[in-house]
Structure 1
Amino acid sequence: MDTTELERLAREIRLRDLQAVFESGAGHIGGEMSVIDILTALYFRVLNVWPDQPKHPARDRFVLSKGHTACALYVTLAKRGFIPEEEISTFLQPHSRLNGHPNCNKVPGVETNTGPLGHGLPVSVGMAKAAKLSGAKYHTYVVTGDGEMQEGSNWEAIMAAAQFKLDNLTLVIDHNRFQQGAALADTNDLAPLRPKLEAFDWEVTEINGNKMSEVVPALEHRGSRPHCIVAHTNKGHGISFMQDRVDWHHKVPSKEQYEIALAELSEAL
């Protein structure tokens, strides 16, 4: 897909994500809206994956370390053909396999269970190192939140990736500047992120993570070192009253708010 097609699809995914969160009465809509452009570019342009063979050994690996934004991943997987699109209506319902955090034992296309923050990047380093040991050609991608980068386990993984020279690993930090309950700047402010990653001998690219023309080339980049993309995004992107508001980390829109958001996202299609 070209960037125009990807942008249209990302808007469709945002719309379905909004509906699913509203109907289920739960979710993490702010961070879902910020990461959807990245997920769309990965699954419809960058990743070598086969929905009818989700465990194909040659597939690229993708880990959503910020697992609380699972609904955005489920909608993307459904659009890509991993699960039925009608199954999205079961999100968070009793006995549904679409839980609040991704489960690799239940959902095709999910590589590893995530939710406890600080786990996805270490697991991804293991996946990338396994490819080096076995001679496999797959690439590993992982998306973390910026608040999640406060976890020490991530920095141990970053050191290991540099030591092992994992040029087959791409880390995307969804830098939307907010975490649960507060702005990043008011908790443990890691910004600017770029010099910190560069100090660990990573290659770093900074982009507008909600602009597809910047997202795609950054994800497709290949170098000689582990690659980190610092994706500057907006919490609640695409919905005016949610954007850059900390209370929309896991707030659910009222009926009136839902109608406003629905109209804004539909107008953009």
Structure 2
Amino acid sequence: MNAERLTKEMLSVEQLEEKCLKIRKDLIHFIYRIGMGHLGGELSMVELAVGLYYKYMNYDPKNPKWEERDRFILSKGHCSETLYTIFADLGMYTQDYMVEHFETLETAKFGMHCNRKYVPAIEVSAGSLGHGLPIAVGMALGARRLGQNWRTIVMVGDGELNEGTNWEALMAAGQFRLGNLVGIVDRNHLQMTTSTKEGMDIDPLDKKLEAFGWDVIEIDGNDMVQVCKAYESLPPRDCHAKRRPVFIIANTVKGKCVDFMENNVNWHGGGIAMAQRDQAIACLESKGRRI
């Protein structure tokens, strides 16, 4: 399938919202079956990831190593099950196959933290926080050196911004004026055991990013209209353009669309019981498309 055709398959906000609902349902079933996950942060990033993979990112699921593809790095790698669920929906795997090969001793291909050695669609192995953004800077510099006009996109968690390597990478990207680099922070305001404000307050984040040489777009990251507008406002792909990179501050809700998970730090990580799975699916179905 031509990547340009793929980006045009899902033209409307309504279709993208429907896809988000399906991905959330499939994700909950998947976490139930594998017995582990990080549902809070996996649910908060759905709109952001769906917008990329179904409309705005140059990407071909039948050829994940296509040379002209945009590179997406999920630095908050503990939330990889959202990507796996999208890959399955795009026809790259079945959920049964992923469950069968999830963290098995001899046939493991999928893990709670993504591994590029086993899943071709994964650009960077992640899980140790703070590495995705520095690698993205290197990729964007590499694209410039090679004269390749693909875009590098990296998603970090807000708790992950406690890691100092991110700030070195932010400074470098601003210094080199990497106009082919886009950062996204899934700002759900919670980390493993507390709020990000109590853990390590990163505010005023917008002013800090601007001071490091980035242009900033701030949105509700669970509102597909705002997500689409943010992606549509990105500058054209041009590896040689020396302009300020763009960072999207996406304010989201941890556990989005499942009432008993929303803004609940206890749903950072772990499994989900059958009764909770059924309750979560019922909650999603009651909300319908409009979330």
SS at match of 2:45: helix
CA contact (8 A) 2:30 2:95 kept: no
Which of 34, 42, 45 aligns to 1:35? It is 45
> 2-side partners of 1:93 and 1:99: how far apart?
5
Unaligned 5+ runs, structure 2 = 1-9, 236-242
Counterpart code for 1:38? L
1:20-66 Cα deviation digits (max 9, x unpaired): 11122110000000001111000000111112221111110000000
Q: Which amino acid aligns with 1:236?
A: G
What does residue 238 of structure 2 align with?
none
Structure 1 residues 82 and 125: CA distance shift in structure 2, 3 A: farther
Indicate if the aligned counterparts of 1:27 and 1:69 stay in contact, CA closer than 8 A: yes
Q: Distance in 2 between matches of 1:27 and 1:160?
A: 33
Letter in 1 for 2:53: Y
Alignment of 1:72 with 2:91, yes or no, is no
Once residues 207 and 119 of structure 1 are traced to their aligned partners in structure 2, the CA distance between those partners, rounded to angstroms, is 24
TM-score of the superposition, structure 1-length normalised? Answer: 0.96
Contact 1:202 1:228 in 2 (8 A): yes
Deviation for aligned residue 1:91: 6.3
Q: Is the 8 A contact 2:183 2:246 kept in 1?
A: yes
Quote the Cα distance in structure 1 between the aligned partners of 2:148 and 2:67. 9
* Residue 246 (1) aligns with residue 265 (2): yes
- Of 114, 119, 129, the residue aligned with 1:117 is 129
Q: Distance in 2 between matches of 1:38 and 1:53?
A: 22
* Residue 107 (1) aligns with residue 126 (2): no
* Equivalent residue number for residue 187 of structure 1: 199
Q: Distance in 2 between matches of 1:172 and 1:103?
A: 21
Alignment partners' CA distance in 2, 1:256 and 1:109: 33
Q: Confirm whether residue 265 of structure 1 aligns to residue 284 of structure 2.
A: yes
* TM-score scaled by length of structure 2: 0.89
8 A contact 2:36–2:272 mirrored in 1: no
The yes-or-no answer on 1:60 pairing with 2:32 is no
The structural deviation recorded for 1:219 is: 2.1
CA distance in 2, matches of 1:184, 1:234: 13
* Alpha-carbon distance in structure 2 between the residues aligned to 1:114 and 1:158: 18
1:134 aligns with 2:156: no
Q: For 1:259, what is the secondary structure of its paired residue?
A: helix
- Cα deviation code 1:189-209 (max 9, x no counterpart): 102311110111100000000
Task: Name the aligned partner's letter for residue 256 of structure 2.
Answer: H
**SS of structure 1 residue aligned to 2:254:** coil
Q: Give the SS at the match of 1:129.
A: helix
Contact 1:125–1:157 under 8 Å retained in 2: yes
Aligned identity (percent) is 39
Deviation of 1:167 after TM superposition, in Å, equals 0.6
Q: 1:83 to 1:253 in 2, by over 3 A?
A: closer
1:84 Cα shift?
Answer: 3.4
Q: Structure 1 CA distance, aligned partners of 2:95 and 2:58?
A: 21
Listed one character per residue, the Cα deviations across residues 62-99 of structure 1 (whole Å, up to 9, x for unaligned) are 00000000111100112123333442433635133111
Work out which of the residue numbers 26, 32, 36 in structure 1 matches 2:36: 26
For the residues of structure 2 that align with 1:56 and 1:258, how far apart are their CA atoms?
A: 37
Q: Which residue of 2 aligns with 1:197?
A: 209
Q: Provide the rounded CA distance (Å) in 2 between the counterparts of 1:25 and 1:185.
A: 30
Q: CA RMSD in A?
A: 1.3
The total of aligned residue pairs comes to 269
* Secondary structure class of the residue paired with 1:256: helix
